[in-house]
Amino acid sequence: MIAAPSSLSSDPASPCVGVCVINPQTQLCEGCFRTLDEIAGWWDYPPEQKRAVLAKLDDRLARIMDGTLFD
């Protein structure tokens, strides 16, 4: 019997929501809040690097919303 992969080794889904517009001020995608480099490299990233990007997204959104992204 083959064991199911652990959640740590599984490949996280892309955060893309189909709103692919780079904000000229923040240089982040308006839909998923990733950088162009993060978007371009997503499919080549190992799972741990994808999880690291995902961990940054909520903080980026919060900082955009409260105006501290550029502090």
Instruction: Using pLDDT thresholds of 50, 70 and 90, give the confidence band for residue 32.
Output: very high
Residues composing the chain: 71
Q: What is the mean pLDDT of residues 62-70?
A: 91
Residue-range domain boundaries for the chain:
42-71
| The overall pTM is greater than 0.75 | yes
| Among 47, 50, 46, CA closest to 15 | 50
With a pLDDT cut of 90, the percent of the chain lying above it is 83
Residue (of 46, 11, 16) closest to 28 by Cα position: 16
